[in-house]
Structure 1
């Protein structure tokens, strides 16, 4: 599998999907998308939705930060082992999220988000097992 998905593809896949999911959660918070279609269809009121969506946005921001550090876009001095551990934790979280989506009371959530969270798990795994060097674009030779 390491030879099938490059680290660069996994990096950009994570950034793209997590960015889209972040926008999706902002649309839920704003009321443009009904909150009944997320969290397994189990949210009962707006207050619950606000709590869960704020946690989701915070987690997405943290994951984007970890990916940005791993990809060399965010310049901080941090032990690469910590980033690797966080990527493994993300992989585990996405696997659990995939299982939750499969069991969702909302068919739309199950159909759309099950493959997305599975992809996120695979991409997180790919970066976790990678070599750990920066993925920033290299300058082109003229």
Structure 2
């Protein structure tokens, strides 16, 4: 798989994740099945979901820049560093999802693992 295809797939995944988090924020999806079952009230949910939406929005923007879909507003070197940070975060998140309390969230380990693989493919282009 080439980097362009990996970026396109990641953009669809991140867009889906953003939709998922917005659905939690507007209470279409109950927050009890997310965040490892650790959220205790609406206030915590609003904070966690807002942060998650902002972080995923950043990843979406970074992928758009990397794929040359939008003009570079930060250097490509910074984009690459940010993608490496996301690769590490998704690796840790995969472990966290595996040990989550809810089966629903355990299934997200597969999604985060696929994201790690796709980000790895995207970043390997830089080494060539």
- For the aligned pair, the TM-score class normalised by the smaller chain equals over 0.9
Q: Give the conservation status (yes or no) of the 8 Å contact 1:85–1:128.
A: no
Bigger Cα displacement from structure 2, 7-16 vs 19-28: 7-16
After TM superposition, the runs of 4+ consecutive aligned structure 1 residues lying more than 3 A away are none
CA-to-aligned-CA distance 1:10-42 (integer Å, 9 cap, x gap)? 101110000000000010001110001110111
Which structure 1 segments of 5+ residues have no match? Answer: 133-142
1:15 is the counterpart of 2:11: yes
Hey, what's the Cα distance between the residues in 1 that align with 2:97 and 2:74? 33
Paired positions, count = 127
1:125 is the counterpart of 2:107: no
Please give the residue correspondences for 1:66-105 in structure 2 after superposition, counting only pairs within 5 Å. 66-105=62-101
Please give the residue correspondences for 1:110-121 in structure 2 after superposition, counting only pairs within 5 Å. 110-111=106-107, 113-121=108-116
Structure having the higher helix fraction is: 2
1:106 — aligned with what?
102
1:35 is the counterpart of 2:47: no
Which structure 2 segments of 5+ residues have no match? Answer: none
CA-to-aligned-CA distance 1:67-109 (integer Å, 9 cap, x gap)? 0000001102532211111111110010011111001000111
TM score, norm. by length of structure 1: 0.85
For the pair shown, which has the larger CA radius of gyration, 1 or 2? Answer: 1
